[in-house]
A = this chain, B = another copy of it.
């Protein structure tokens, strides 16, 4: 048991540890790095005149994504939210149904569910993975749902629960085997929100490839960026074809006729953004190495400080360490806002976890299990500066 925390000393220790790792300059939470073929590909893209829907970089980027993740198919889209929305649509999620997702996630997870007219049903998280608490979830579903004609029905709302959407928090893989097993046992479709976890593996298999479909994000703050972008992963050829179709306005292929067989979306990734992605993904292994190196340095610095620890992957997983995560212990919780305040004032960008989805206005009335674990994590988490460039040596 560590001693109780002296607030000024504690905050100075934390800031000092971060400074030891990132150096004395102003530092962002996460900055992209363009040190590869970005220029060459952008120039090629402009010179080809194909910046938009046609052009080779979209195909090339999708190919790189399948090569890297091992998914059979990757369909690039305009952003991660769009990717998850279409993945859920293809998973069969319909208006008035429920979809299980962690309360501890970025709002996009819940929004993607809402766009389909479905209702997010929030579940708890735990500290070992920062993802869904699989033990609590299994128990909860056993007590609160029943099987009806091969579907999972919420006994209280009488609504079908169609899908289960884990999110790999800050890049750390959730308990994917257990989640697959729960999905099987309770007739749920597993769809992974892997927006943060490109480059993260569970027992050697890439996150986002365990469910029927998975979604990725290449937003500016992600491990690789296309400016804005996302992708749908799947091993199912029919779903892949349908994903491409629905994200390109559901236009029926024809030499000149404009006809559409469904209400599709204008969600394709422009070629110019894919060109950026092609250059970025070439450097993905290097970026991951940098982030893992950064993790080690944070871990080393913070092990000397009482009341905090740096989140570390389990031995059966390999995290991309997208966002480095400090966990406050019980007796330092009251200092979270002071740490955030002082570090940001000093030019070190830090941030807490997202407010739980069950606590934000648009989702306050959504169904939720007891969220003790997620609530605790929300109070304990502080994300630290995590740009891959930081490990290249300010010291």
Contacts and interface: CB of A to CB of B under 8 A. Distances in A.
A54 interface: yes
A256 to B, nearest CB: 5
Given A46-B38, A272-B272, A107 B258 contact: yes
B227 A265 contact: no
A361 B262 contact: yes
A110 to B, nearest CB: 8
Interface in A107-122: 107-108, 111, 114-115, 117
Given A78-B78, A220-B53, A270-B273, A360 B225 contact: no
A108 B270 contact: no
Contact of A111 (B42, B43, B263): B263
Q: Which 8 A-B pairs have the closest CB atoms?
A: A52-B220, A227-B270, A227-B272, A228-B270, A81-B266, A258-B354, A51-B227, A256-B351
Contact of A361 (B33, B51, B54, B261): B261
A259 B269 CA distance: 28
Contacts of A262: 361-362
A49 B225 CA distance: 11
A264 B111 contact: yes
Interface in A225-255: 225-228, 249-251, 255
A72 interface: no
Interface of A: 31-34, 38-39, 42-43, 46, 49-54, 78-82, 106-108, 111, 114-115, 117, 219-221, 225-228, 249-251, 255-266, 268-273, 276, 340-341, 344, 350-355, 360-362
A272 B42 CA distance: 11
Contact of A352 (B54, B257, B271): B257
Given A51-B227, A265-B111, A273 B272 contact: yes
Contact of A51 (B51, B270, B271, B276): B276
Contacts of A351: 256, 258
B261 A225 contact: no
A350 B53 CA distance: 18
Nearest to A217: B266
A323 to B, nearest CB: 13
Contacts of A42: 42, 46
B52 A355 contact: no
B52 A221 contact: yes
A106 B340 CA distance: 49
Contacts of A249: 107-108, 111
Contacts of A51: 32, 34, 220, 225, 227, 276
Contacts of A227: 51-52, 270-273
Nearest to A280: B51
B219 A114 contact: no
A344 B341 CA distance: 64
Contacts of A39: 43, 46
A11 B42 CA distance: 41
